[in-house]
Amino acid sequence: MDPISIHFHEIALKGKNRANFERRLQANLQAALGPLGRIKVVRHPGGLLIDGDADPAEVVARAREVCGVAYAMRVKRHPQDDLEGVARTIVEAIRREQPSSFRITSRRRDKSYDLTSERVNQVLGKMVKDATGVPVRLNGAALEAFVVVMDGQTLVGTEKIKAVGGLPVGTAGRVTALLSGGIDSPVAAWRMMKRGCSVDFVHFHSYPRVDRATIEKAEELVERLTRWQYRSKLFLVPLLEIQTAARLQAPEKLRVLLYRRFMVRIAQKIAERRRSRALVTGESVGQVASQTLQNIAAVDAVAKMPVLRPLCGMDKQEIVDQAKQLGTFEISIQPDQDCCQLFLPKHPAVASSDAECAEAEKAMDVDGLVARALAATERLTFRWPAESAAAAA
């Protein structure tokens, strides 16, 4: 196949750490593309280059989903001094696309090359204009050709394909995401992957009081999201005993808040064992009663590490649109029995406080409930390409 050039934006701003980010992106691309065929990802000044024998359309489609890639571009490779060959490639593109104007943007990565970037632009521009009659337009050209002069070769491409952007997964540390099985939390987890975080997942369930549908959804969601980080851990935590205790021993209006406070305590314990640096939730401010600013503060009061909410300023339609793009929406809308719906109060508190919740918890064996839930937690491992989830020993 023709080579595929990979470029990035944020990584280029990383200064002395840039090489570490590039190496991580290189490894992630190798992991993402390996199943497609014989693939080699190599670094070069200014980007990465993919070579191999896989279907180039599949390679581009997969590469543009890898966090950290700003855009991908199929390129033609020519000998370094073969400007006539480069010009022919651009002419072919113009005859195929029939643009009203064109421009050439050159980069001279090999500084020993005789011609400057500006001179390469001029030489190629004249060749192409003479061959096609299409005028050069420096601003707003209908077709732009990108030329990179490298050590021993010159690459040329005409179509930048926008990719996901962000930072390579694994460059920003580990976080632990509370995964409900609904629409929001998978999107929140993915947005943290896009910021370079490796994500562990914690799912709370009320089995056997309800069926296993929510557990199966969580597994399917993690399997889907593992496509972006290649290896995931899912922790399945039983919440039924805690919910029963809250129903019997605490004010009805506080039940959901108490559930969430216990979730934070338990997820935090798991996070500490996994050396995660923060918790992640799919909450959006004001979306439901438990997500008012007062109630968010009441839940966060039991946290001893940051609780990140990547969706806090998004509305529901924005979240739904992104879930559809990720392929999690159709999984999330499958019917199930979410644990927070069990023993749901008729009139939940909308403006509670840490003090009010803490007072209610005095009647509950908080430490014992947390310890028993952790002892009964299952851990599953997922890898991409998809494998069956395997319980850890």
Residue 209 near residue 244 (C-beta atoms within 8 A): no
Regarding predicted confidence, which is higher, 11 or 376? 376
Place of tokens 């992640």: 280
* Span between the terminal Cα atoms of the chain, in Å: 43
pLDDT in tens, 55-67: 999 999 999 999 9
Q: For each of the domains in the chain, give its residue range(s) and CATH number, in order of start.
A: 4-162 (3.30.2130.30), 174-391 (3.40.50.620)
Query: According to the model, what pLDDT value does residue 387 have?
Result: 55
List Cβ neighbours of 17 (8 Å cut-off, separation of 6 or more): none
Region of 282 please: left (phi>0), alpha (psi -120 to 50) or beta: alpha
One-letter amino acid of 354 = D
- Summarised one tens digit per residue, pLDDT across range 109-131 is 999 999 999 999 999 999 999 99
Q: Around Cβ 312, how many Cβ atoms within 10 Å? A: 17
pLDDT tens digits for 253-307? 999 999 999 999 999 999 999 999 999 999 988 777 678 899 999 999 999 999 9
Omega before 3 within 30 of 0, i.e. cis: no
Report how far residue 137's alpha carbon sits from residue 318's, in angstroms, rounded to the nearest whole number: 37
Which H or E run includes 133? Answer: none
Question: What pLDDT, on a 0 to 100 scale, did the predictor assign at position 349?
Answer: 84
The Cα 319–Cα 154 span in angstroms is: 42
Q: Dihedral sign for Cα 171, 177, 181, 185, please.
A: negative
pLDDT beyond 80 at 343: no
Question: Three-state DSSP class for 113?
Answer: coil
According to DSSP, residue 65 is labeled: T
Tell me what percent of the residues of the chain surpass a pLDDT of 70. Answer: 95
Report which of 281, 314, 275 is spatially closest to residue 296, judged by C-alpha positions: 281
Q: Among 7-21, 60-74, 157-171, 348-362, whose mean pLDDT is lowest?
A: 7-21
Q: What is the pTM of this model?
A: 0.89
**Total residues found in the chain within this entry:** 393
Torsion of CA 152, 154, 160, 165, to 10 degrees: 20
Show Cβ contacts of residue 147 under 8 Å, excluding neighbours closer than 6 positions: 86, 104, 105, 106, 107, 120, 124, 154, 155, 156
